[in-house]
């Protein structure tokens, strides 16, 4: 979604800041813009589409000591130059970049009679700052305190041409400094790579300014405080590109290695030992909460805890959890939040609600400096490394492996070492590469729609597989528990309808196989992914008897199928239309 990167210090070439904006491309955006101070005046250039369009508009070398830039993912107002950030006030006194949503923008517009040309909620901020004749940090704060909603704000002001003003509420914002006393403010620390490895995470309610050799940060009580600087260990996204053409392919290929490293870390660092062995006995219920793929990981977590530990566990989408007001959650509930980014707005909102209800909260996240990691009672690292493609692949595989280890940690009398089991799975993954999947499946040729079926844990993997295929191919991919087919969904089946049947549990595989055959009788073209040795024309055999471990292999297979289909359709799987990597608005 939207991204911010900005700079203040000695004079810098504008192109450098705009180039840095590319580190945020993976988040998804549909326009980009930059504003800077030049000879005491605010200037701006904006462009629809890719950042390279913005770069082509910068036709001469521009040097400035104060620069803000932004990638916009449209929420309020269509994709247009006028709606692109930075938003400059009518008389050019303030320019603003903003991530988040100002919920009371209409009320503010009416109350202060703001003449706002753009359709965005953000434009009211620059007009408000101008109308209030703000120039000092205290004027800035007064204006910001009128805003309701979520915001990561960075602003420049004509009267204070050497300063970046900032404020944060609910949307992530970070500040970095280097040995020259210069500062960058960005919505993701990945922007700081190459500038400095010293940064701070701002807290909700924080505001302040940075200028050469000086930073002033105030908390929501207007108390100035000395922030604690951390060391940035984020890898550089650009240098991370390898021989694969797409991040999605690269990230799927990395799964084997990442799982090996994950086992090493979880074993050697005894990560799960933050929990007492009887930890789960403290709770009447365990709820897994997340969005999209992370929600599917939650369904996996609930299935594995039910099945291996016989505890009450279920999963809820974060948005539904919020809508239902965190029904039945109490201090006897364990809420287990899963999020690759740790910044998904719905997940964070659900976390807030769970904490208000006094639930104990665990976070499983790939980003250890994220808001989720900071706000949970216990944090488990996903250890997937930077995931750039919008479609989550390697993070999902790691989430499953960690949940498998988590369940095993509380099991007594295990005969097999769970770390060894995951290691073995990582080795088995290698076989199912692009060539293997392409050769075995004639189903993915000319695919126009697809149905995934399975029972219990297999139906969870079916759900995730359908999501993946939808995201990167735009074809209508659906998923149903196998047993439901004859209660309605068979109506969808016609000649050649592709059905992928996931059957990885020896106890229940016959159900899925029977349902698939019923669909085949009605014309469906079936591909089985199974650990049953079967003699079907189209089938991918997985040599693993534990259904939860086999699910990890199956996920790599269906991720690869999704990738193959995207390639056949000529779609860039890294940046699917209308989607963003990190969904930071509710």
Helix H segments across 219-329? 247-253, 255-268, 292-309, 318-323
- What is the C-alpha to C-alpha distance for residues 163 and 56, in angstroms, rounded to an integer? 27
Q: Output the smallest distance, CB 314 to ligand M6R, in A.
A: 18
Q: Output the smallest distance, CB 73 to ligand M6R, in A.
A: 13
Element (H, E) at 209: strand 207-211
| Residues 426-485 interacting with ligand M6R (rule: CB under 6 A) | 471
Q: Output the smallest distance, CB 291 to ligand M6R, in A.
A: 4
**Residue 570 burial by CB count (10 A; 0-12/13-18/19+): exposed, middle or buried?**
exposed
The interface mask with ligand M6R, positions 298-317, x = CB under 6 A, is --------------------
Is residue 344 at the binding interface for ligand M6R, with CB under 6 A as the rule? Answer: yes
Judged by CB under 6 A, which stretch of 341-349, 406-414, 539-547, 560-568 contacts ligand M6R? 341-349
Q: Output the smallest distance, CB 319 to ligand M6R, in A.
A: 10
Phi-psi domain of 474 (left: phi exceeds 0; alpha: psi -120 through 50; beta: other): left
**Residue 255 burial by CB count (10 A; 0-12/13-18/19+): exposed, middle or buried?**
buried
Is residue 399 at the binding interface for ligand M6R, with CB under 6 A as the rule? Answer: no
Q: How many helices (H) and strands (E) does the chain have?
A: 17, 25
Is residue 391 at the binding interface for ligand M6R, with CB under 6 A as the rule? Answer: yes
- What is the C-alpha to C-alpha distance for residues 510 and 504, in angstroms, rounded to an integer? 10
Q: Give the tokens for residue 139.
A: 């004027």
131/575 with CB nearer ligand M6R: 575
Q: Give the tokens for residue 396.
A: 């999902």
- What is the C-alpha to C-alpha distance for residues 312 and 294, in angstroms, rounded to an integer? 20
Q: Output the smallest distance, CB 468 to ligand M6R, in A.
A: 6
Among 71, 201, 340, 512, binds ligand M6R (CB under 6 A): 340
- What is the C-alpha to C-alpha distance for residues 576 and 558, in angstroms, rounded to an integer? 17
Q: Is 581 a catalytic residue?
A: yes
Q: How far is CA 575 from CA 242, 474, 503, in A?
A: 17, 12, 31
**Strand order from edge to edge, sheet including 360-365:** 313-317, 285-290, 333-339, 360-365, 378-381
Is residue 187 at the binding interface for ligand M6R, with CB under 6 A as the rule? Answer: no
- What is the C-alpha to C-alpha distance for residues 393 and 385, in angstroms, rounded to an integer? 12
Give the residue nearest to ligand M6R (CB): 292
Judged by CB under 6 A, which stretch of 143-151, 256-264, 536-544, 575-583 contacts ligand M6R? 575-583
- For residue 265, give every residue at least 6 positions away whose Cβ sits within 8 Å of its Cβ, in sequence order, or none: 271, 381, 383
Judged by CB under 6 A, which stretch of 197-205, 218-226, 443-451, 578-586 contacts ligand M6R? 578-586
Residue of 2, 66, 157, 564 marked active site: 2
Among 5, 177, 371, 392, binds ligand M6R (CB under 6 A): 392
Is residue 390 at the binding interface for ligand M6R, with CB under 6 A as the rule? Answer: yes
Judged by CB under 6 A, which stretch of 14-22, 292-300, 309-317, 491-499 contacts ligand M6R? 292-300
Q: Is 230 a catalytic residue?
A: no
Q: Output the smallest distance, CB 272 to ligand M6R, in A.
A: 21
Judged by CB under 6 A, which stretch of 180-188, 213-221, 244-252, 576-584 contacts ligand M6R? 576-584
Q: How many CB atoms lie within 10 A of CB 12?
A: 18
If binding means CB under 6 A, how many residues of this protein chain bind ligand M6R?
A: 16
Among 86, 172, 292, 454, binds ligand M6R (CB under 6 A): 292
The residues carrying an active-site annotation are 2, 581
Residues near ligand M6R, by CB under 6 A? 291-294, 339-341, 344, 347, 390-392, 471, 579, 582-583
């Amino acid at each position: 979604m939207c991204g911010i990167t900005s700079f203040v210090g000695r004079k810098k070439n504008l192109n450098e800041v705009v180039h840095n904006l590319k580190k945020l491309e993976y988040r998804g955006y549909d326009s980009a813009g930059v504003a800077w101070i030049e000879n005491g005046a605010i200037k701006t250039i904006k462009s629809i589409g890719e950042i390279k369009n913005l770069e082509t508009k910068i036709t001469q070398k521009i040097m400035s000591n104060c620069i803000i830039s932004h990638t916009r993912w449209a929420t309020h107002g269509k994709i247009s130059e006028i709606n692109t950030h930075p938003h400059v006030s009518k008389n050019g006194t303030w320019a603003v970049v903003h991530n988040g949503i100002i919920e009371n923008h209409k009320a503010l517009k009416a109350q202060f009679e703001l003449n706002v040309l753009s359709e965005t909620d953000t434009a009211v901020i620059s007009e408000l700052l101008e109308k209030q004749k703000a120039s000092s940090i205290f004027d800035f704060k007064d204006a910001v305190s009128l805003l309701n909603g979520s915001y990561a704000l960075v602003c420049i002001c004509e009267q204070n041409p050497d300063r970046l003003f900032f404020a944060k509420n609910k949307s992530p914002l970070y500040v970095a400094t280097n040995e020259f006393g210069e500062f960058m403010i960005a919505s993701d620390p990945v922007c700081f790579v190459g500038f400095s490895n010293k940064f701070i995470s701002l807290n909700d309610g924080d505001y302040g300014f940075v200028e050469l050799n000086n930073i002033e940060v105030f908390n929501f009580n207007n108390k100035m405080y000395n922030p604690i600087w951390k060391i940035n260990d984020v890898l550089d996204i650009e240098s991370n590109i390898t021989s694969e053409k797409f991040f999605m392919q690269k990230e799927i290929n990395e799964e084997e290695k990442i799982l090996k490293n994950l086992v090493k870390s979880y074993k050697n660092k005894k990560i799960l030992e933050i929990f007492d062995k009887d930890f789960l006995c403290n709770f009447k219920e365990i709820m897994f909460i997340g969005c999209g793929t992370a929600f599917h990981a939650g369904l996996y977590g609930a299935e594995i805890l039910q099945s291996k530990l016989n505890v009450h566990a279920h999963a809820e989408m974060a948005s539904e959890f919020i809508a239902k007001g965190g029904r039945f959650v109490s201090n006897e509930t364990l809420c287990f939040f899963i999020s690759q980014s740790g910044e998904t707005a719905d997940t964070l909102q659900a976390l807030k609600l769970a904490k208000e209800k006094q639930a104990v909260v665990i976070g499983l996240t790939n980003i250890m400096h994220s808001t989720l990691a900071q706000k949970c009672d216990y944090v488990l690292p996903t250890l997937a490394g930077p995931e750039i493609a919008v479609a989550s692949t390697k993070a999902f595989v790691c989430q499953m492996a960690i949940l498998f280890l988590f369940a095993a940690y509380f099991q007594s009398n295990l005969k097999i070492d769970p770390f060894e089991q995951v290691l073995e799975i990582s080795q088995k993954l290698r076989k199912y590469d692009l060539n293997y999947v392409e050769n075995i499946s004639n189903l993915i040729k000319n695919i126009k729609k697809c149905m995934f079926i399975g029972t219990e844990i297999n139906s969870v993997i079916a759900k995730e597989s359908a999501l993946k295929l939808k995201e990167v191919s735009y074809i209508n991919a659906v998923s149903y528990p196998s047993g439901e087919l004859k209660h309605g969904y068979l109506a969808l089946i016609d000649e050649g309808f592709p059905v992928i049947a996931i059957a990885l549990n020896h106890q229940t595989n016959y159900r899925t196989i029977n349902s698939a055959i019923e669909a085949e009788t009605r014309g469906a073209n079936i591909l089985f992914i199974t650990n049953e040795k079967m003699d079907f024309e189209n089938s991918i055999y997985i040599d693993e008897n534990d259904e939860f471990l086999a699910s990890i292999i199956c996920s790599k297979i269906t991720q690869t199928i999704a990738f193959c289909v995207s390639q056949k359709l000529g779609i860039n799987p890294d940046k699917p239309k209308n989607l963003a990597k990190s969904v930071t608005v509710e």
